[in-house]
């Protein structure tokens, strides 16, 4: 009889331990968010929401995000976009561009707009560039 009580006690402790362990393991907040379709390339773009990072350096504000390029339902590649504002106009560089190369962000850029909105940063555009 004593053995049965000890067995039940051990089982109860094990169950409570498992409940405590799994209580903090809720659903992941990471998501791939569809932001755009480039019809000319037959590519859908998905921002990897959990990769969005931002900061400020000697050149000004910046943010970076990884983007999945999906073509015909298959992952083509993941490209990291870095947006920064060294002067008046927002610029970008990607992990697929030659080192040191950068370009002005042209309107519309749904990746840029998604990042700015997620960060709560304001921006404007003149129909051509973002400011």
Which whole number is the average pLDDT over 44-50?
98
Region 25-41 average pLDDT: 84
The residue-averaged pLDDT of 66-86 equals 97
Query: Does the pLDDT value for residue 59 go beyond 80?
Result: yes
Report the pLDDT value the prediction gives residue 84, as an integer from 0 to 100: 98
User: What pLDDT, on the 0 to 100 scale, is given for residue 30?
Assistant: 81
Residue 112 contacts residue 124 (beta carbons within 8 Å): no
Please name the residue that has the structure tokens 């498992």.
Answer: 18
- 71-93 mean pLDDT: 97
pLDDT band at 1 (very low <50, low <70, confident <90, very high): low
State how far the alpha carbon of 50 is from the alpha carbons of 15, 32, 33, 115, in Å: 33, 8, 10, 11
Per-residue pLDDT averaged across 17-46, rounded?
75
Question: Which residues in 5-113 belong to E strands, given as ranges?
Answer: 32-38, 43-48, 53-57, 60-71, 74-84, 91-94, 103-104
Annotated domain spans of the chain? 32-119
Q: How far is 79 from 68, CA to CA, in rounded Å?
A: 6
Residue percentage of the chain with pLDDT more than 90? 76
């Amino acid at each position: 009889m004593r053995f049965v009580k000890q067995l039940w006690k051990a089982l109860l402790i094990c169950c409570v331990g498992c409940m405590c362990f799994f209580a903090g393991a809720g659903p992941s907040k990471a998501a791939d968010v569809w932001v755009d379709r480039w019809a000319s390339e037959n590519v859908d773009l998905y921002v990897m929401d959990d990769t969005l990072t931002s900061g400020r350096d000697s050149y000004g504000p910046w943010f970076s995000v990884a983007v999945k390029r999906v073509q015909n339902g298959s992952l083509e590649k993941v490209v990291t976009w870095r947006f920064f504002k060294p002067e008046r106009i927002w610029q970008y560089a990607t992990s697929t561009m030659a080192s040191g190369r950068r370009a002005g962000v042209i309107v519309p850029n749904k990746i840029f707009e998604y990042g700015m909105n997620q960060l709560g940063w304001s921006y404007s555009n003149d129909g051509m560039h973002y400011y």
